[in-house]
A and B are shown apart, each in its own frame.
Chain A
């Protein structure tokens, strides 16, 4: 009996290994996005801007994000440095239209500003606003090609359909967690390497794998930005009251 069970188990294991269909590039990138997808998120982040001479500047921010359908709203609060503490930044999406508001405590006023262009720098860092939204493309946004595979990783090349910021990305994906371990961002010509993103540390929030520490480096200048997730919570109920004029003005 034992032998029979062992044989069945072995056959099942071998079958899975030998006959499982290899993942396509689209399936890999879908898994990458699904792994990072959340209806809501609360993050406590530390941004470290690293000069080529090693000088570092730190920014501490906390952000709430909530998606309803295809619309995503987010509120970001600056905690440090002291000169920008309590600056609050709200992005609201309604039917795909984005509105951005900023509250500057020194002026005690809320000001509406233009939505940032995708390529604009986020807080003077090496991340663009597009990078902060996602460092990889969805299957309907780019043509994905699996260009390499080893025991631990897939390497996928993504050429976006609309080349707004980058001409090509090359993503190295962890086979276990489906998190991006390294992303290379190329210029619109598809040849010049602009930036590299490296995941320095992975972690888990519950069962969800996350990239806890990532570093983006601008190749031309050598300037780098390190983002560390100090705390994160996902898929919990977030009140709409956070994405309001009241919260911007009062912080409550």
Chain B
């Protein structure tokens, strides 16, 4: 067995790298394999409480390419989350103009560079707050995709038998459930009889059944210098809503309800969207927009998300000579049929749109500015990004400096600052305002 493993490793590591089959000897099978290992390790310190914690992220990637297929697997271990997770396990089949890909993966929609409003196929991963890799803030999901290309067009279709909901931290510094519990506490005992939240029965909708199937497609075409894509998706909003199980209660007579349990459920919707980019050298203007048509079309069910409009515009600049990149991104959403009046109804206190809103407004608007500048012949790279949330007056700033010691090792320092100009307002960055941190570490590829 050992010999087989050793032989496998030798064969795997000894095969040459090829991008094109022009370099294969005709007698050799046209197969390549590549295995790589990445270690990202360092220490992070939180400004607020001075907490200092070492961390290590380890990633193993394995890929095999044949003439008609590609098999890919990526597995990572995150010491902060203490979890070993598959990031991608996929098999692609290349059948002439059609590519079929199946497995656990992320599928990307949208034309902007810094953020998206139509990139809706995967749920979100907010367990570590906002990180400087947009793709890593998406939770991989099991799906089947089909892509086909014309001369100036492309079509891709995605089918998900069930779905992975968004991931949020349930404890720790980036916990999203603690603020929810605080909200629950705020109206206990006025309208709810107190129950120990730790003893509260919490159930969740089964998202891995065929009845939770999602299906969608995108068609893109290019008329130089404009690209336009249209998309449709029938699926579930990956963030949960809360349905309270209540009994008794008569608020007119001041009798609070008994809270029997909490059920987490997800909202069905149709999504129609558009993405487009217009290139006018050296700038690119990208726009994305769409409408979520919720199953709760009238917005009367507090446990479901309402229909909403989303929109984005981004102006970016890339200098081809030194790879300097800058982008200004504006994005927002408008929730339809949203009633901001807070009625003495327990369910409304945990209304899905209220929990997702910024300061209780049925709309939100964000500005993001991002820059990247490589210098010293690309040995050193500076990245800065800042987001300002208009309704909550919250902000987040990410900054990083990386330096390549050699081709396989880089050292870096990163800082993340969350804050608000008004602490009384509700919003994600306000919730995380104590979580500003700095990281210093090393990343190595093997």
Are A and B a genuine interacting pair, yes or no? yes
B390 at the interface (CB under 8 A from A): no
How many residues from A make CB contacts under 8 Å with B?
Answer: 49
Are B38 and A82 in contact, CB atoms less than 8 angstroms apart?
A: yes
Are B106 and A223 in contact, CB atoms less than 8 angstroms apart?
A: no
Question: Interface centre among B133, B374, B406, by most A CB within 10 Å?
Answer: B406
Are A117 and B108 in contact, CB atoms less than 8 angstroms apart?
A: no
Residue of B nearest to A231 (CB): B23
Are B154 and A223 in contact, CB atoms less than 8 angstroms apart?
A: no
Q: Which of A167-175, A193-201, A244-252 contacts B (4 or more CB under 8 A)?
A: A244-252
- A112 to B17: give the CA distance in the assembly, Å: 26
Are A64 and B22 in contact, CB atoms less than 8 angstroms apart?
A: yes
- A233 to B106: give the CA distance in the assembly, Å: 37
Subset of 15 A-B contacts with CB under 8 Å:
A55-B406, A59-B407, A62-B20, A64-B22, A81-B407, A109-B108, A113-B320, A114-B281, A114-B318, A120-B322, A121-B377, A231-B23, A236-B22, A245-B149, A252-B94
- Identify which of A108, A116, A246 contacts B97 (C-beta below 8 A): A246
Q: Kindly list chain A residues whose C-beta atoms are within 8 Å of the C-beta of B92.
A: 250
Q: A99-B224, A113-B282, A117-B321 are in contact. Are A233 and B22 (CB under 8 A)?
A: yes
- Identify which of B18, B94, B378, B445 contacts A82 (C-beta below 8 A): B445
Q: Kindly list chain B residues whose C-beta atoms are within 8 Å of the C-beta of A244.
A: 149, 151
Contact bitstring B427-446, A, C-beta under 8 A = 1, else 0: 00000000000000000010
Are A44 and B23 in contact, CB atoms less than 8 angstroms apart?
A: yes
- A250 to B98: give the CA distance in the assembly, Å: 11
- Identify which of B17, B222, B404 contacts A80 (C-beta below 8 A): B17
Residue of B nearest to A78 (CB): B19
Question: Interface centre among B319, B320, B379, by most A CB within 10 Å?
Answer: B320
Q: A58-B407, A81-B407, A250-B147 are in contact. Are A113 and B318 (CB under 8 A)?
A: yes
Q: Kindly list chain A residues whose C-beta atoms are within 8 Å of the C-beta of B19.
A: 62, 77, 79, 251
- A108 to B136: give the CA distance in the assembly, Å: 12
B275-290, CB < 8 A from A: 277, 279, 281-282, 284
Contact bitstring B144-174, A, C-beta under 8 A = 1, else 0: 0001010100100000000000000000000
A32 at the interface (CB under 8 A from B): no
Residue of B nearest to A236 (CB): B22
Q: Kindly list chain A residues whose C-beta atoms are within 8 Å of the C-beta of B319.
A: 114
Given contacts A114-B282, A250-B147, 19 further A-B contacts (CB under 8 A): A44-B23, A55-B406, A77-B19, A79-B17, A83-B410, A106-B135, A108-B135, A111-B284, A114-B281, A114-B319, A115-B320, A124-B374, A124-B378, A125-B377, A242-B20, A244-B151, A245-B149, A250-B92, A250-B99
Q: Kindly list chain A residues whose C-beta atoms are within 8 Å of the C-beta of B210.
A: none
A60 at the interface (CB under 8 A from B): yes
A215 at the interface (CB under 8 A from B): no
Q: Kindly list chain A residues whose C-beta atoms are within 8 Å of the C-beta of B113.
A: 107, 109, 111
A49 at the interface (CB under 8 A from B): yes
- A30 to B444: give the CA distance in the assembly, Å: 48
Are A82 and B408 in contact, CB atoms less than 8 angstroms apart?
A: yes
Question: Interface centre among B22, B36, B378, by most A CB within 10 Å?
Answer: B22
Residue of A nearest to B318 (CB): A113
Are A80 and B321 in contact, CB atoms less than 8 angstroms apart?
A: no
- A236 to B21: give the CA distance in the assembly, Å: 13
B318-351, CB < 8 A from A: 318-322
10 cross-chain pairs, A with B, having the tightest CB-CB distances, nearest first: A120-B321, A77-B19, A114-B282, A246-B149, A82-B445, A124-B377, A42-B22, A81-B407, A116-B320, A124-B378
- A55 to B110: give the CA distance in the assembly, Å: 40
Q: Kindly list chain A residues whose C-beta atoms are within 8 Å of the C-beta of B52.
A: none
A100 at the interface (CB under 8 A from B): yes
Residue of B nearest to A102 (CB): B318
Q: Kindly list chain B residues whose C-beta atoms are within 8 Å of the C-beta of A82.
A: 36, 38, 408, 445
Are A57 and B407 in contact, CB atoms less than 8 angstroms apart?
A: yes
Are B320 and A77 in contact, CB atoms less than 8 angstroms apart?
A: no
Q: Kindly list chain B residues whose C-beta atoms are within 8 Å of the C-beta of A223.
A: 377
Are A119 and B321 in contact, CB atoms less than 8 angstroms apart?
A: yes
Residue of B nearest to A250 (CB): B99
- A107 to B113: give the CA distance in the assembly, Å: 8
Q: Kindly list chain A residues whose C-beta atoms are within 8 Å of the C-beta of B404.
A: 57
B200 at the interface (CB under 8 A from A): no
Residue of A nearest to B279 (CB): A112
Are B22 and A245 in contact, CB atoms less than 8 angstroms apart?
A: no
- A83 to B378: give the CA distance in the assembly, Å: 12
- A251 to B284: give the CA distance in the assembly, Å: 24
Q: Kindly list chain B residues whose C-beta atoms are within 8 Å of the C-beta of A79.
A: 17-19
B134 at the interface (CB under 8 A from A): yes
Question: Interface centre among B19, B94, B225, by most A CB within 10 Å?
Answer: B19
Q: Kindly list chain A residues whose C-beta atoms are within 8 Å of the C-beta of B224.
A: 99
Are A252 and B445 in contact, CB atoms less than 8 angstroms apart?
A: no
A208-252, CB < 8 A from B: 223, 231, 233, 236, 238, 242, 244-246, 249-252
Contact bitstring B373-415, A, C-beta under 8 A = 1, else 0: 0100111000000000000000000000000101110100000
